[in-house]
Structure 1
Amino acid sequence: MEKILLIDGSSLIFRAFYAIRNLSTKDGLPTGAVYGFVNMLNSAIKQIEPNYLAVAFDKAGPTFRTREYAEYKGTRDKTPDELNSQFGIVRDLLDSYGIKHFSLDDYEADDILASLSRKANEENIESYMLTGDRDYFQLIDDHAYVLYTVKGISQLEIYDKEKIKEKYDGLSPKDLIEIKGLMGDSSDNIPGVPGVGEKTAIKLIKEYSTIENIYENIDKIKGKALPKNLLENENLAYLSRKLGKIICDLDLGIEIEDLKVQEENRQELYEKYKALEFTGLMKEYSPEVEEAHDFDASLLAKKDYKDLINFIEKEKELVFDLINEDDYIKEKPRYLAIKSKDNKVYTLDLENDFELFEKHFKSLFESDKIEKVSFDIKKSIVMFDKLNVQFSDNYQDLMILSYLINPSGSYSLQDLGLSFLNVEIKALDEYLGKGKKRINLSDLDQDQLLEYQANNLFVISKAKKLLLDKIEEMEMKDLLYKVDLPLVKVLADMEIYGVESHAKEFEKLDEEISAKIENLENEIYDQAGEKFNINSPKQLGVVLFEKLELPVIKKTKTGYSTNIDVLKKLEDKHPIIPMIEEYRQLAKLKSTYIDGLIPMIGEDNRIHSKFNQTVAATGRLSSTEPNLQNIPIKTEEGRLIRKGFFAGKDKKLVSADYSQIELRVLAALTNDENMLSAFEQGIDIHTKTASEVFKVDLDEVTKLQRSEAKAVNFGIVYGISDYGISEDLNITRKQARNYIDSYLDSYPQIHKYMEDIVEIAKEQGYVKTMFARRRYIPELSSSNFNLRSFGERIALNSPIQGTAADIIKIAMINVYNRLKKDKLQAKLILQIHDELIIESPDNELEKVKKIIKEEMENAVDIGVKLLVDVEVGDSWYEV
């Protein structure tokens, strides 16, 4: 029997969105719902092997159900913007899969799919409806099944008549329509009969079959409350059944034959998954690729090393690959592979052949005359430091080249091989077995090791010229050689040196916060009148909305919502709410930061974070393991965590922070006279903006007006909408819109820039920073409004954020080089967005303060004076 797979696109996207919340591309495009949807789609196709396929979506706007009952689905929140944008991406992917998708005025997705299911069954075709919505259970029949999502999105389970009978105490699928009429549905705001839950509804329908029969036999129903409730709400029972019943006989003008499974467009899917950074799916749909077998690999023998060294010195180029067991911050490198002439590759076991390396090869890595070429040079510099190798400044990093060419991509040698050479090579975990928590190179046999490193060198050596030619074509040579490549060495040294930190400081803070948490727990229990699990949303919901009878803001399928937005709206309703908010903040502080930081402290009493320069599409740096750029600053308890980071003995920390650098960049990019004048005269820019927006003299600007002007200033920088500003300031969207309009009137050149930059981005497909860093914006050509709007925000803020990021990088390089040139012991140890931190010996302090201020303020000339605030202290908290 042939099969049709019918997919409720809206249900699956919502389910995927809440199952995968934090997935996005490097440029911030949310993709979790798309990823979850695609995985469920592929799993269902594999499981069912359908002959026909169709997807239905709910259409925005009223339906016959809302006309019947205005409050239908009335308690649902507005669809989040980060979810809205993903619907268009899913539809676009379905087109590449060759899958038809539909939506219909006045009806919902389940009505469309139910009608297609019945039509297919009449043509003797089995139907499988893929959904996360239990309403579909009413449609199950002899040849109609529901493929239901369980365990988030990881498992799909087939429901048939027997499974319904088992789950609902012997009832049939059609009985579920009657159940819905009696008990309603809180997620869809279908009222049902008050006081009738699932157990009572099942019992009544088992005995009387239909709602009509219940009312015909109302005098036989035992008890006082139930018959009374039923009689008083008879109209709600019939209304709820009507709302909950899925329409099965729509004339859609679609023939089942039109839904026959089509051949997918693999090239389109490859390109789209590449743009979405779905690496696994990208590989699955990658074009036919070659395998890298051109290189002859062997272990380096003593008889070979002279020829290898002669080749390197003649070519003035050392192409290498360095690998280690696991964490490059903590462990020594294990195997070094070097390319020789005639596509020959030699591998050294650095553990067993260290003397050979130290005697004959170490000097090559330290030589300024020889260019070292590899992928992710920073990692190699950090590892070589453990072998006392003073890596020279003459190097080429293909990871950096790849990033500059496509800052929104993913970066591995495997990706590089596919993208530029159409060559497929294996990642290390493909040799070792996925899922292993730790890489153990001893699991590799010799042939696998040699093949892995030879393939890496094949890609590195073959791709280098292609990438450099592309960089020249894109006019980014200055950016490469003056900013991003020199920065690699700076970041490597920061990782090697680390930040002084002692566990006892965090343990002391842990005691203080744990005591506060315990006190808060007791206060919350007193307010609630009982003990309960504060971390359980279900138990907390019962306490807040049933016991304390606070107004219900939002309900979910599993109960009451108690998220941060809900608690914010209840702050003035009961003293328990601020306590719960503070409890959650402290609990997160303890688990994420204090408990998370202590294990990161090394034997040298320093934390060695990893600094990444190929993560953010804007060019900004990020920090991981641990993320030191995300230490809380808004609460006193959060700031206290910075007490755990301090200067070493007889040293101080020097912090230098750019003052409003992004607004200064905005003034420079737009050449807006009003803003330029404010910076030139040293007028506080937020006060100036408040004066312009609220039409008052500078000395009459209130604190509130300055605060609101500040939100608008940074809102413009980050491309925020009137909705975003209204949420931030707790004002109406109309007020927020008026603020923005007044701002744009006050700064006409900024207004013009905002219009022009979007048009430029649409025309050329990308925007640039002042230093030629590019960011491509494919979203601007999307047919989806939300995606285009997202692209416009990127076009607005990328040149500003990217230029500011470039300036801080140049400053880092200049500060680093100046400290070396002046032969100081002081070390650059941290970069936190617009702030640099140096650990300085006490006797160098005045020199260091002067150097950091000079080098940061004079890093570049953008036509607007850059100002830096310098602070000194024993700890990060003090500065």
Structure 2
Amino acid sequence: MAEKLVLIDGNSIAYRAFFALPLLNNDKGVYTNAVYGFTTMLLRILEDEKPSHILVAFDAGKTTFRHKTYQEYKGGRQKTPSELSEQFPLLKEVLDAFQIKHYQLKEYEADDIIGTLAKRGEQDGWDVQVISGDKDLLQLVSDKVKVALTRKGISEVDTYTPTFMEQKMEVRPEQIIHMKALMGDNSDNIPGVPGVGEKTAVKLLKEYQTLENLYDNLDQVSGKKLKEKLETHKEEAFMSKELVTIECESPIEIGLDDIAYQGYEANQVSSIFKELGFQSLLTRIAGEVSIEAEEQEELEDIEVEVVDTVTNEMFTGMEAIELEILGDNYHLSSVEAIAVVNGEKKYFIPTDVAVQSDSFKKWAEDPGQKKYVFDAKKVTVALLKHDIHMQGIVFDLLLAAYLIDPSENHFDIPAISHRMGYKQVLFDEEVYGKGAKMKLPDQDKLIDHVVRKTMMIFALKEKVEKELTENEQLTLLQELELPLALILGEMEATGVKVDVERLKNMGEELKERLQTIEDEVYELAEEKFNLNSPKQLGPILFEKLGLPVIKKTKTGYSTSADILEQLQGSHEIIPKILMYRQLGKLQSTYIEGLLKVVHKDNQKIHTRFNQALTQTGRLSSIDPNLQNIPIRLEEGKKIRQAFTTTEEEWVIFAADYSQIELRVLAHIAKDEKLQEAFNNDMDIHTRTAMDVFHVDAEEITSNMRRQAKAVNFGIVYGISDYGLSQSLGITRKEAKKFIDRYLDSYPGVRQYMEDIVQEAKQNGYVSTIMNRRRYLPDITSRNFNVRSFAERTAMNTPIQGSAADIIKLAMINLHHKLKEEKLQARMLLQVHDELILEAPPEELEKLKEIVPLAMESAIELSVPLKVDYSYGETWYDAK
């Protein structure tokens, strides 16, 4: 079988992926859209091409040998956005995981590396496939070399052969350099001959074949002006030809034998996909993936007592307890087994034996009996189903391991124990399988596994607490995260009442709205068609209605949201189609999605709060994610009308922090102007606009305030000129000026940014007000882009993390206050900076007093915390 060589232009594909996909980032805040787009294309290439040899070529730097010929080569290019450049090291890590060679060569471009290897492959009779977005590479096309060029984005490619080129471009491969010499290339700042475009260049080459022959016969060229242009700019034309000619004999230090491809290890690729958050790509990896590649230590035998009758005596001195629940969602799954251990005894208790026992209930509910657990929240919720109110939890291995290093991916007992050097427990996947194949093993294996996991909780407590003490984080575990876990457990078990009928009625109303919009679209189109089919919608818009075609795909016209948004104002049908899609998503994702998770017995939704997920310490929610209900669209906001109270006549009470992150910034940056604004209760965005634009308050326009707001929150989330330019629709140059003016206006913020980066470099981590840590191993990287991202993370983590700490403290304060006042009111949800409660109307006045006080007094800052509250029959009314 002939050898198959695939050569990929790394910079070109990464650029196209970056600008084709939304600015995605993973749960660590790392931008990944370019890596994700590149990787999806790479998987497709590996599946379709099945290469025997493969290489990804990268540019080595800004300066190349071509700059000696023309100093302004590529001079007009904008600086690469940091959001993209910081992804290149990640991209190379992905290639390493795939065991795909990547290469760059000082003073040469990726094109030259590709050209050199393509020619060698061609000479050896190999089939060569080049993948890029750069038309310059078309000069390599031959009977043995095909060049696949991405169209707009990366999902569609055109594969160029000599025949296809003559049909599509009317030139032969070897004429590409002559065509580019005449027409130039703005993207690379190649001058060419001014006034000569692609059509003229093709026409001239059809007649004269080459640049040299054209100039040898210049007197025969028709058109006085054209002839003058050619004559005047002869030097630029020949220089341009030299610039666009790929160097196919570049001094590379690798040969074809060095880039042979043997395939990849699924384990390695799976590991980096999980780290980057590419869950959707895991299913495309060939082969089974074992969770641990390293050789497993032989397990030592343990003695376990299987209990069939529970007594009071057996719990004396017992400390570690584990409830074994298969799958992540403990609300839907039952407890399969319970184990309790201490340093001497190990008991395995079948669930029905434990939960029906007064002795177990008495021990579990005794606050004087210390318990060590893994995931206190899970234990709390699971036992509440059996009317057992667990008390006395003093240690939680999950939360402790998360606080030690929140950047870790796996927080289960075996993974934590292996990281800590204890290997006397198997991974859950080895015992239960995974996914659809997950099932209980035989009884002996189940007993052994559950007890070993419980032993790990007991064995690790002392070591983990010692590390937390050294990090000054034991208080964070014992006084913040652990008490909060028990509160969250109660909130999850309580759930939120949903008015199912109202939700269904909203669904019906949305269906009617969708039908009305559909009819209006048909009327404007003057025919009926499937509005959900891009194949049918495209011809209506671009042929029948004659709207400008922005992008075509293999299957027809693109009608994606970004394309339609560019067509806003060109026809009244466009906003109707966009609204149809938005409402359709509300109907399917939120109305139907919420109805699926309403508990049939109590008409409630029991979301799960993720306490050990984000690196900033923020809570998130899942099954369903109640933090993501869209509220920008009024129809989305109205979904909150379905969230009501458990008891009739009760009210929903909502309280949220006002601009908490900016207040935290004012405190930790010690910026006098920011502090003065908050201490005087000024509108902070107006104040910022006054300082940045140097105008009085009455001169501030709504647009000025909008820009000030964007930069205020941009500072909190790690600002960049590219990010700000995208959010405000201004140029990067304007955005940079805006940021510079902001930092000039708030010198304390500028100083904080400089100081926190130095602190991170010195310590290797940054901390929040409550001493929550985030480690930044890349802060001293020699790679500028990797280091820059770590520096931005260093700046914003203390702000976001401290805000997360504060609302957690507020929840604990409020929980104690509600108990102390013996109120029936209870917390239901935490959504971003907002707490949602339900209460009887007679407690309303008391809540107005204690809720803001509990939240505003959670911590003392140099500026006041401010809380706004409202209430009503539903979550929507409490706005």
For this structure pair, what is the TM-score category when the shorter chain's length is used for normalisation? 0.7 to 0.9
Distance in 2 (CA, whole Å) between partners of 1:784 and 1:701 is: 42
What amino acid maps onto 1:607 in structure 2? I
Deviations 1:378-424 (A, max 9, x none): 11110100111111142311111111111122222243133222638
Equivalent residue, structure 1, for 2:730: 731
- Deviation (angstroms), 1:801: 0.9
Equivalent residue, structure 2, for 1:116: 117
Equivalent runs, 1:191-206 vs 2, <5 Å = none
Q: Is 1:86 aligned to 2:87, yes or no?
A: yes
Distance in 2 (CA, whole Å) between partners of 1:753 and 1:142 is: 61
Distance in 2 (CA, whole Å) between partners of 1:138 and 1:702 is: 54
- Deviation (angstroms), 1:784: 4.6
Query: Does the CA-based 8 Å contact 1:20-1:32 persist in structure 2?
Result: yes
Query: Does the CA-based 8 Å contact 1:121-1:144 persist in structure 2?
Result: yes
Equivalent residue, structure 2, for 1:300: 306
* Number of equivalent positions: 814
What SS does the corresponding residue of 2:838 show, helix, strand or coil? strand
Distance in 2 (CA, whole Å) between partners of 1:586 and 1:64 is: 55
The alpha-carbon distance between structure 1 residues 23 and 689, as it changes in their structure 2 partners (threshold 3 A), is closer
Equivalent residue, structure 1, for 2:476: 479
Equivalent residue, structure 2, for 1:645: 643
The alpha-carbon distance between structure 1 residues 786 and 655, as it changes in their structure 2 partners (threshold 3 A), is same
- Deviation (angstroms), 1:484: 0.9
Q: Is 1:413 aligned to 2:399, yes or no?
A: no
Deviations 1:497-544 (A, max 9, x none): 011112111111112221111221222233334434433445444443
Equivalent residue, structure 2, for 1:401: 400
What SS does the corresponding residue of 1:423 show, helix, strand or coil? coil
Equivalent runs, 1:55-454 vs 2, <5 Å = 55-57=56-58, 84-92=85-93, 94=95, 100-103=101-104, 109=110, 112-113=113-114, 115-120=116-121, 122=123, 129=129, 174-182=162-170, 249-256=248-255, 259=258, 276=276, 288-291=294-297, 293-294=299-300, 296=302, 298=304, 300-302=306-308, 312-314=315-317, 317-324=319-326, 327-342=329-344, 345-351=346-352, 353-354=353-354, 358-410=357-409, 411-421=411-421, 423=423, 425-436=425-436, 440-441=439-440, 444-454=441-451
What amino acid maps onto 1:578 in structure 2? P
The alpha-carbon distance between structure 1 residues 454 and 317, as it changes in their structure 2 partners (threshold 3 A), is closer
Deviations 1:38-96 (A, max 9, x none): 79879999999999663223678899999xxxxxx9xx999886555332222255568
Q: TM-score, normalised by structure 1?
A: 0.79
- Deviation (angstroms), 1:777: 2.4
What amino acid maps onto 1:524 in structure 2? V
What amino acid maps onto 1:178 in structure 2? E
What amino acid maps onto 2:708 in structure 1? A
Equivalent residue, structure 2, for 1:231: none
Query: Does the CA-based 8 Å contact 1:717-1:797 persist in structure 2?
Result: yes
Larger mean CA deviation between 596-605 and 687-696 belongs to 687-696
Query: Does the CA-based 8 Å contact 1:6-1:53 persist in structure 2?
Result: yes
Q: Is 1:469 aligned to 2:466, yes or no?
A: yes
Distance in 2 (CA, whole Å) between partners of 1:212 and 1:728 is: 45
Deviations 1:542-569 (A, max 9, x none): 4434443434445566655444444333
- Deviation (angstroms), 1:797: 1.4
Query: Does the CA-based 8 Å contact 1:766-1:774 persist in structure 2?
Result: yes
Distance in 2 (CA, whole Å) between partners of 1:527 and 1:640 is: 29
Distance in 2 (CA, whole Å) between partners of 1:778 and 1:102 is: 25
What SS does the corresponding residue of 2:516 show, helix, strand or coil? helix
Equivalent residue, structure 2, for 1:550: 547
Distance in 2 (CA, whole Å) between partners of 1:213 and 1:148 is: 23
What amino acid maps onto 1:851 in structure 2? I
Equivalent residue, structure 2, for 1:583: 580
Deviations 1:277-307 (A, max 9, x none): 689899869674543723526562347x56x
Distance in 2 (CA, whole Å) between partners of 1:7 and 1:759 is: 41
- Deviation (angstroms), 1:313: 2.5
- Deviation (angstroms), 1:647: 1.8
Distance in 2 (CA, whole Å) between partners of 1:559 and 1:42 is: 24
Distance in 2 (CA, whole Å) between partners of 1:647 and 1:834 is: 21
The alpha-carbon distance between structure 1 residues 293 and 255, as it changes in their structure 2 partners (threshold 3 A), is closer
Deviations 1:635-654 (A, max 9, x none): 21111111000123121111
Distance in 2 (CA, whole Å) between partners of 1:515 and 1:64 is: 65
Gaps spanning 5+ residues in structure 1: where? 67-72, 155-166, 193-210, 217-241
What amino acid maps onto 2:307 in structure 1? A
The alpha-carbon distance between structure 1 residues 301 and 16, as it changes in their structure 2 partners (threshold 3 A), is farther
Distance in 1 (CA, whole Å) between partners of 2:807 and 2:726 is: 31
Distance in 2 (CA, whole Å) between partners of 1:726 and 1:403 is: 35
What amino acid maps onto 1:338 in structure 2? V
- Deviation (angstroms), 1:18: 10
Deviations 1:657-708 (A, max 9, x none): 1111111111111111111111112222122222222222234433333232
Query: Does the CA-based 8 Å contact 2:564-2:574 persist in structure 1?
Result: yes
What amino acid maps onto 1:85 in structure 2? E
Query: Does the CA-based 8 Å contact 1:138-1:175 persist in structure 2?
Result: no
The alpha-carbon distance between structure 1 residues 340 and 866, as it changes in their structure 2 partners (threshold 3 A), is closer
Distance in 2 (CA, whole Å) between partners of 1:769 and 1:346 is: 41
The alpha-carbon distance between structure 1 residues 661 and 571, as it changes in their structure 2 partners (threshold 3 A), is same
Distance in 1 (CA, whole Å) between partners of 2:623 and 2:291 is: 32
Larger mean CA deviation between 29-38 and 678-687 belongs to 29-38
Larger mean CA deviation between 288-297 and 661-670 belongs to 288-297
What amino acid maps onto 2:614 in structure 1? A
Larger mean CA deviation between 245-254 and 529-538 belongs to 245-254
Equivalent residue, structure 2, for 1:811: 810
Query: Does the CA-based 8 Å contact 2:338-2:348 persist in structure 1?
Result: yes
The alpha-carbon distance between structure 1 residues 590 and 255, as it changes in their structure 2 partners (threshold 3 A), is closer
Distance in 1 (CA, whole Å) between partners of 2:377 and 2:298 is: 25
What amino acid maps onto 2:766 in structure 1? V
The alpha-carbon distance between structure 1 residues 447 and 19, as it changes in their structure 2 partners (threshold 3 A), is farther
What amino acid maps onto 1:446 in structure 2? Q
Larger mean CA deviation between 257-266 and 375-384 belongs to 257-266
What amino acid maps onto 1:652 in structure 2? V
The alpha-carbon distance between structure 1 residues 735 and 54, as it changes in their structure 2 partners (threshold 3 A), is closer
Equivalent residue, structure 2, for 1:238: none
- Deviation (angstroms), 1:785: 4.3
Deviations 1:333-367 (A, max 9, x none): 2311222544x64322213x246x52332222212
Query: Does the CA-based 8 Å contact 2:826-2:837 persist in structure 1?
Result: yes
Equivalent residue, structure 2, for 1:794: 793
Distance in 2 (CA, whole Å) between partners of 1:556 and 1:184 is: 25
- Deviation (angstroms), 1:147: 12
- Deviation (angstroms), 1:5: 5.5
The alpha-carbon distance between structure 1 residues 594 and 296, as it changes in their structure 2 partners (threshold 3 A), is same
Query: Does the CA-based 8 Å contact 2:121-2:256 persist in structure 1?
Result: no
Equivalent residue, structure 1, for 2:489: 492
- Deviation (angstroms), 1:318: 2.7
Equivalent residue, structure 2, for 1:629: 627
What amino acid maps onto 1:746 in structure 2? S
- Deviation (angstroms), 1:257: 6.9
What amino acid maps onto 1:89 in structure 2? L
What amino acid maps onto 1:592 in structure 2? T
Query: Does the CA-based 8 Å contact 1:325-1:334 persist in structure 2?
Result: no
* Equivalent residue for 1:516, pick from 498, 507, 513: 513
What amino acid maps onto 2:636 in structure 1? G
Distance in 1 (CA, whole Å) between partners of 2:97 and 2:331 is: 43
- Deviation (angstroms), 1:762: 2.9
Q: Is 1:535 aligned to 2:523, yes or no?
A: no
Q: TM-score, normalised by structure 2?
A: 0.79
